[in-house]
Amino acid sequence: MKTFAHDRIDPDAIVDELLNGDGAVRLTGLFAPEDIAEARRTVMEHSDRDAGKVTHFQGVAEAEGALALQRRVWNLLAKGEVFARMAAHPALMDILRRFLGTEFIMGSIAANRILPGGPGQEPHVDYPYWDFHAPETHPVGLNASFPMNAQVSVILDPFTVESGATAYVPGSQRHLRYPTEADDFHAGAERMTGEPGDVALFFGAAWHCAMPNRSDHDRSAILIQYLPKWVKPMEDMPAALPPDVIEGASPDLRQLLGLNYPYPEVLDTAAGGNVEGRA
């Protein structure tokens, strides 16, 4: 996985790597240690208090009664201003405007905490491709020649092989399909390792999964999903946020919340006049 330091970020090279290369890059130095510490404190507090949140790709863990070792914290924008700063970091915004279009939105921002002993996930692809194990439910000819997802993992604990750093198959994003047992995912997988404060940025069409945490410490990250403006977001964030968060949102955060894009709209009651077209 190629690494780009905060003062040597090349958006065009990163976009090419996401689309045509390995499908993932590591970014370093974007966030101050105090921001990472604040985010981690908040995640620990909420995940200790309420461990029973919805999660994904954990069917084996659920069957084995081990779901409590993997904890999600949703609606992070309502839980601390640091998360808004992470989501709208200028370097990420610059890269993603080139990757997903200048008016891209955020589909979700949540935390994933895997405790020691926590099992890994099944290999998968991310929303809106995440149910591509049923390809007949998607349009004919859908492919990965243009992206409908970017994923950011802001690392809060050391991501090592032992702690279950995300595994992914380099180049798998170029061939949109859901991995099967016949693909032998683990034989070709590499790891998204990193230190607290590092960022793993990847195209969610790449096959990937969290791996089992066999270390003596937590393995936590902030997971941010970005989408083109016209893809239905996974989380209904505006509905979940207090009014003061929306009222005080920066222009970039308003864009990420989808507040600049009016659709779907009740057009029968909308103000009259021509609202779309070049002229």
Q: What is the mean pLDDT of each run of 10 residues along the chain (279 residues)?
A: 96 98 98 97 91 67 72 94 97 98 97 92 95 96 96 98 97 96 95 98 97 96 98 94 93 96 90 86
pLDDT at 178: 95
pLDDT at 60: 66
Residue spans of the domains in the chain: they are 2-256
User: According to CATH, what is the number of the domain 2-256?
Assistant: 2.60.120.620
pLDDT at 149: 98
pLDDT at 279: 79
pLDDT at 108: 96
Q: Could you give the CA distance from residue 72 to residue 223 in angstroms, rounded to a whole number?
A: 10
* Confidence (pTM): 0.94
pLDDT at 222: 98
